[in-house]
Amino acid sequence: MRVMITGTAGFIGFHVARRLLAGGHEVTGVDGMTPYYDVRLKEARTAILAGYRGFSGHTFMLEDAQALMDLAQSVSPQIIVHLAAQAGVRYSLENPRAYIESNLVGTFNVMEAARRIGVGHLLLASTSSVYGANEAIPFRETERVAHPMSLYAATKESAEQMTHAYSHLWDIPTTAFRFFTVYGPWGRPDMALFKFVAAILEDRAIDVFNSGDLERDFTFIDDLIEAVVRLMDLPPRRGAPVAGDSLSPVAPWRVVNIGGGAPVALMDFIGEIERRLGRKARLNMMPMQAGDVPRTFADSALLETLTGYRPSTPVSEGVDAFCDWYEGYYAVSGAEKADQ
């Protein structure tokens, strides 16, 4: 199978690409290698992918419509998995334009490429942040998402709506998946787990927002990849809904939550990191971060109905796996890191 993946140097894109390559598929990767965080981490991920015979990597921004179109037409992928995006709630307050250019313009160019080549299935990453001010718990795909709390969330919700329109107009089978707090090895340095581990090992205080009164539906990366790969084989079909489906009545388009449906208190999450590292965190209690929400909680029934699968890795195992990777990647033990 020929698959084009955007964002292959990123956390999730890297894992999806590696899983498909290990399964013998051909993967064409696109990444802009932006300096939002340490590019060396992106280069290290890309170097691993380059070791697979079926990988072809390309460096350019998705805003370059002609470069993307030329590549798509030359490789004619059967599936496009669009994972490239400008992520992060806090950074959307600092550099909002990056979210418009990447998440809207970039997504539009991917849609145009998918339309032009007649792709068999377009999949794109959305986020639990689109649920915004929704108070109904757990979050269900069939709920209206009309009150985003950050520009990041607004652009991801807009991308969902844009792809729905193209799915309706051009009959493009499309699946949008809403990720819930993904974590694990090779994670992004701006994410909480990475920041907490680095700070604790270096004896720095960690910022704990809303004084720790937060809950997140943490999703381990291996669980998320399993769900994405299974959904790749299930392009939506017009007029063929299943129980509790979000399938559009006018397009072969659906949205699917990918989360375990088991929120974990932030302080318990920090406790698991302390357990693994064998040291206590110094806590800098902060007010609620602008644009953030107090709780995320996925209803995973649709994912399980479609794929027979739902994420289930305990946070204790996921934290251990991340810390093992972190210490190995930086070639230090916890004690040595703390002394540097």
CA–CA separation, 209 vs 269, rounded Å? 13
Q: Which of 152, 166, 183, 326 is catalytic?
A: 152
- Separation between Cα atoms, residue 166 and residue 252, nearest integer Å: 10
In sequence order, the 6+-apart residues with CB closer than 8 A to the CB of 172 are 111, 114, 115, 119, 122, 163, 166, 252
- Residues 6 or more apart whose CB falls under 8 angstroms from that of 188 comprise 10, 11, 37, 87, 194
Question: What backbone torsions phi and psi does residue 208 show, to the nearest 5 degrees?
Answer: -115, 105
Side-chain half-sphere of 200: how many Cα atoms within 13 Å? Answer: 25
Which own/partner contact pairs does 49-52 have at CB distance under 8 Å and 24+ positions apart?
49/8, 49/14, 49/17, 49/18, 49/21, 52/18, 52/21, 52/22, 52/27
Residues, the chain, total?
Answer: 340
Selection from 96, 224, 84, 210 nearest residue 150 by Cα = 96
Give 3-state DSSP helix, strand, coil % of the chain, rounded to 5: 45, 15, 40
37 is catalytic: no
Give residue 320's region: left, alpha or beta (phi > 0; psi -120 to 50): alpha
Q: CB–CB of 306/258 below 8 Å?
A: no
Tokens matching residue 11: 């956390």
Residue 48 DSSP SS3: helix
Q: Which residues are catalytic?
A: 152
